[in-house]
Copies of this chain bind each other. A is one copy, B any other.
Amino acid sequence: VERFKAAMKQAGLKLTPQRMEVFREIAGREDHPDAVGVFTSIRERMPSVSLDTVYRTLWMLKDLGLISVIGSNRESARFDGNLGKHHHFVCVRCGLVRDFEKEELNALPIENDVRKYGSVLETQIEVHGICNACRNTHGDSITSE
C-alpha cells in the first residue's frame, strides 16, 4: 500500500480515491478478478466509480509494474496482485484461479527445449482441475443441460 503511493508519486500521477480502491482490491484478493469483477466489488463501497476508470487504473497499475496480468489477451484479462514467483491452479469448470508456490518448479530445465523458438523470461505452471466448490455441486451445470 505504501509501495503504491510511492510509485504513484514517483511517476507523477495523482493519488485519487478510485485508484486507491482499485489497488487495494487487487492487492487484497487471492482470486484474480477481471475488470468487471473489480468494478463490482468496488462499487459496493464507492457507488460512483465507473467501469472505464477501473479499466484505466488496472492498465496503469500494470504499466507501473504493481500488478501483473494473467493470459496474453487484452480482452478478458485477469489481474494479479501477487508479484512473487508463483503458479496457478485453474478450475476448468468455473474458471476459479488460485496461487501456489513451489520452489522446485522455479528452475525447470526447459531452456534447451524452446531455444529454437526464442529466449525464456519465466516459466509458469498452470494446473488444470476441478475446484472443491465445483466437485460438490457435482455436474449441476453439465449433466442437467
Contact = CB atoms under 8 A, between A and B. Distances in A.
A114 interface: yes
Count copies of this chain in the complex: 2
22 contacts: A71-B73, A72-B90, A89-B118, A96-B117, A100-B113, A100-B114, A102-B110, A102-B113, A105-B110, A108-B125, A117-B131, A117-B132, A118-B130, A118-B131, A119-B130, A119-B135, A120-B127, A121-B129, A124-B125, A124-B127, A124-B128, A125-B125
Contacts of A113: 100-102
Contact of A121 (B114, B128, B132): B128
A121 B143 CA distance: 19
Contact of A73 (B76, B102, B122, B124): B76
